[in-house]
Amino acid sequence: MEINGVEIEDTFAEGFPIKMARVQITAITERWALEAAREATGFGTSVIGCSAEAGIECIVGGEETPDGRPGVNILICNMGYKNLENSLLFRLGQCVLTAPTAAAFSGMPDAEKQFDTGKKLSFFGDGYQKQVELFGRSVWKIPLMSGDFIVEQNFGAVDAIAGGNFLIFAQNQAAGLLAAEAAVNAIGKIKGTITPFPGGIVASGSKVGSKYKFLKASTNTAFCTSLREDGVCTLAEEVSAVFEIVINGVSKEAISAAMKAGINAACHVPGVLKISAANYEGKLGTHQFPLRVVLE
């Protein structure tokens, strides 16, 4: 299979189950909603070493937010609901409550699983916090020096999927990076997904395990071009760089749509030679995304 002359390898991406919550952050301007969102999703690339996987899902206008102000939707992911609850509490408390004019609402109000994150955060009000009905939601008003912080009482969470991915094989680093950027831009239009790595791009693709017993993952030596002389690199001679795009999503359908959009965008950048995907023969997760099926 080819797209625009780019080979699509007959393989699959391997994803795994994860728990996910959506938070809608609003503020007086889009700039301040984004500032809070960026802080709240920081240090959120991989649960291998981060407290959560997190990213910005999309920017929304006032017609889509409870308080009618500009907003940003973020997705926060953890392996279990208990860890996810902790991540919500600390990320909202440290990064959103502290942001000028910001407010936080649940982006999954109808989810079966609910955390009383707003109530827990309300104790910062030192007894002067108030629970009220605003915008058709049960919220807490927490007095701050700059004005009240509004946070919804409950935040919903759902079972989701992490680890959807594809690999971009390029003639050189510049071409690979341009293709990866194009892919991330296309994926950004698919709601229900995030690309949690820096700028949405993974430079350090990994394999499960290591020669060192204390490491869960290590560099994907077979794809490291500088290891050709060591006889370890298995890439074709014309491939000089590989970038990976990792996608978390609310559903298999959302990840499939994001992969399709991203791959199509990458294949239209000169210098891209092949598209593949990372899998571990089913040892990592239960969700498989065959590239040929995704692209049909």
pLDDT value at residue 176: 98
- CB of 223 closer than 8 Å to CB of 165: no
pLDDT tens-digit series, residues 153-182: 999 999 999 999 999 999 999 999 999 999
Which of the following CATH numbers is that of domain 19-158: 1.20.1050.10, 3.30.70.520, 3.60.15.10, 1.10.3210.10? Answer: 3.30.70.520
The closest of 293, 290, 23 to 156, measured between CA atoms, is 23
pLDDT above 80 for 284: no
Q: 216 pLDDT band (50/70/90 cuts)?
A: confident
> CATH classification of 2-14+160-294 is 3.40.630.40, yes or no?
no
Q: 285 pLDDT band (50/70/90 cuts)?
A: confident
CB neighbour burial string for 13-25, b if at least 16 within 10 angstroms, e if fewer: bbbeebbbbbbbb
pLDDT value at residue 208: 84
Long-range contacts of 80-84 (CB under 8 A, 24+ apart): 80/19, 81/19, 81/113, 81/157, 83/19, 83/51, 83/52, 84/19, 84/20, 84/21, 84/52, 84/115, 84/157
pLDDT value at residue 282: 73
Distance CA(43)–CA(54), nearest Å, equals 8
- CB of 276 closer than 8 Å to CB of 263: no
The closest of 125, 86, 122 to 104, measured between CA atoms, is 122
Q: Which two tokens stand for residue 68?
A: 């009618």
Distance CA(115)–CA(125), nearest Å, equals 19
Distance CA(35)–CA(40), nearest Å, equals 9
pLDDT above 90 for 280: no
pLDDT tens-digit series, residues 49-88: 999 999 999 999 999 999 999 999 999 999 999 999 999 9
- Number of C-alpha atoms within 13 angstroms, CB side, residue 193? 28
Q: Locate the domains of the chain by residue range.
A: 2-14+160-294, 19-158
- CB of 105 closer than 8 Å to CB of 72: no
* pTM assigned to the model: 0.95
Beta carbons within 8 Å of 191's beta carbon, 6+ residues apart: 57, 58, 254
The closest of 123, 49, 41 to 87, measured between CA atoms, is 41
**Considering only 25-29, 53-57, 168-172, 227-231, which range has the smallest mean pLDDT?**
227-231
Instruction: Label residue 277 left, alpha or beta by phi (over 0 means left) and psi (-120 to 50 means alpha).
Output: beta
Lookup result for tokens 């959560």: 52
Distance CA(119)–CA(68), nearest Å, equals 23
- CB of 146 closer than 8 Å to CB of 32: no
The two domains 2-14+160-294 and 19-158 share their CATH topology (first three levels equal):
yes
Tell me the mean pLDDT in the region 213-227.
93
pLDDT value at residue 23: 98
The closest of 135, 143, 144, 128 to 106, measured between CA atoms, is 135
